[in-house]
Amino acid sequence: MTKLRRLSLTAYEAPLCETVVDCPQPQGSEVLIRIDRCGVCHSDLHMQDGYFLLSEGKRLDVRAGRTLPFTLGHEIAGTVESTGPEAKDIKPGAKYAVYPWIGCGKCAACTAGEDNLCSTNRHLGISIDGGFASHVLVPHPRYLIDYAPLSPSFAGALMCSGLTAYSALKRLREHAARGPALLVGMGGVGMMGLSIAQALFLHAPIVADIDAGKRETALKAGAAAAFDPSDPEARRALVKSTGGGVFAAVDFVGSEKSLAFASGALAKGGKVVVTGLLGGNFSTPVAMFPLKAMTIEGTLTGTLAETIELMALARSGKIDPPPMTERPLGEAQAALDDLRQGKVVGRVVLAP
Ligand SMILES: [Zn+2]
Ligand SMILES: [Zn+2]
């Protein structure tokens, strides 16, 4: 029998360990995927810790409902190994990216196509076993997405960082028609956002990052201008250069300072979408909502329909892949450690 090799979470706040079990036989509509590549994401660090930091030392515990050992990893691309009897039109040997944000299929969110917001979800690598492994079991072929001619590493990255950026930018389409969008935070998701924004919007985006190197990289990648939000004059300069502020902004950082900067740069009628999870509180005079006709909205990953749209955009060559480093699956913990220490540029991708 084929063995399933995994780098498992066996305890929170502890290094991953290799565990080996018999490979599951796909039942019903299930598909067994042999993993080619699985990206390492910041949220894997939070899963390993068992919490997200909210603010002032407060934590959001995310350990509930997960039995250990557990397999992290949600940026998966792989090859069909075998299928259950009801998995139609799927052939062994075919290559797919795997949409990981799978819902229960029954609740109001799932019925509206928002599996990513399902509260009794089956998100791969979050609620059920994911991709730091040789194989993963996918509940239904509808979650498998063709990605040729892209690389499996890029296809995997589109499932989380790419999708998050795309979903945020889609919510700003009408606003971004009025002038350049502001993208705050040029990390992995932000850089993907910069590339997607150039494919979706008429105007080249303006970026903001406290790191000079990241601002430089963003300018080379097509940003119209770059600001340093730690400079006390930056907000005023940005508002002046845009003739009164931006109508569309994404906060890819998600901290008190980043959201203050993004919302402070808005023109009347402007909107900020927040995707970042860094932590912190945000406060503003309530009167600013009507006075500036301001919208602040959050988004969490994206829907299956958005993933299919994004994949079509990427397959047509309109999105640049982020810089990617491949490492063997056995180095999963070292890859997480490097990410935690801020040593990673772009994406790290594990290859079983
Ligand atoms: Zn992720
Ligand atoms: Zn649901």
Q: Is the pLDDT of residue 146 over 90?
A: yes
Ligand 2 center to residue 301 CA distance, Å? 15
The pLDDT value recorded for residue 91 is 94
Mean pLDDT of 10-22: 96
Mean pLDDT of 260-282: 95
Rg (CA), the chain: 20
* pLDDT averaged over every residue in the chain: 95
292 SS3 class? helix
Ligand 1 center to residue 92 CA distance, Å? 27
Q: Is the pLDDT of residue 198 over 90?
A: yes
Angle among Cα 11, 13, 15 to the nearest 5 degrees reads: 70
Q: How confident is the model at residue 57 (pLDDT cuts 50, 70, 90)?
A: confident
For residue 69, say if its preceding peptide bond is cis, omega within 30 degrees of 0: yes
Ligand with minimal distance to 109 CA: 2
Mean pLDDT of 214-230: 96
Tokens coding 50? 């068992």
Q: Is 332 left (phi over 0), alpha (psi -120 to 50) or beta?
A: alpha
Q: How confident is the model at residue 342 (pLDDT cuts 50, 70, 90)?
A: confident
Q: Is the pLDDT of residue 314 over 80?
A: yes
Ligand 2 center to residue 122 CA distance, Å? 9
Q: Is the pLDDT of residue 328 over 90?
A: yes
Ligand 1 center to residue 212 CA distance, Å? 25
Q: How confident is the model at residue 344 (pLDDT cuts 50, 70, 90)?
A: confident
The pLDDT value recorded for residue 145 is 98
Ligand 2 center to residue 117 CA distance, Å? 7
Angle among Cα 194, 198, 204 to the nearest 5 degrees reads: 90
The pLDDT value recorded for residue 105 is 94
Ligand 1 center to residue 267 CA distance, Å? 31
Ligand with minimal distance to 111 CA: 2
Q: How confident is the model at residue 216 (pLDDT cuts 50, 70, 90)?
A: very high
Q: Is the pLDDT of residue 261 over 90?
A: yes
Nearest to 180 by CA among 241, 229, 237: 241
Ligand 1 center to residue 233 CA distance, Å? 34
The pLDDT value recorded for residue 205 is 98
Q: Is the pLDDT of residue 175 over 90?
A: yes
Ligand 2 center to residue 114 CA distance, Å? 8
Q: Is the pLDDT of residue 48 over 80?
A: yes
Mean pLDDT of 281-302: 96
For 69-102, the pLDDT digits (tens) are: 999 999 999 999 999 999 988 999 999 999 999 9
Q: How confident is the model at residue 327 (pLDDT cuts 50, 70, 90)?
A: very high
Ligand 2 center to residue 121 CA distance, Å? 6
Ligand 1 center to residue 345 CA distance, Å? 15
Ligand 1 center to residue 176 CA distance, Å? 25
Ligand 1 center to residue 52 CA distance, Å? 14
Ligand 1 center to residue 189 CA distance, Å? 9
Q: Is the pLDDT of residue 123 over 90?
A: yes
The pLDDT value recorded for residue 74 is 98
Q: Is the pLDDT of residue 55 over 80?
A: no
Ligand with minimal distance to 118 CA: 2
Ligand 1 center to residue 125 CA distance, Å? 9
Mean pLDDT of 202-230: 96
The pLDDT value recorded for residue 53 is 81
* Bridge partners of residue 23, in order along the sequence: none
The pLDDT value recorded for residue 322 is 86
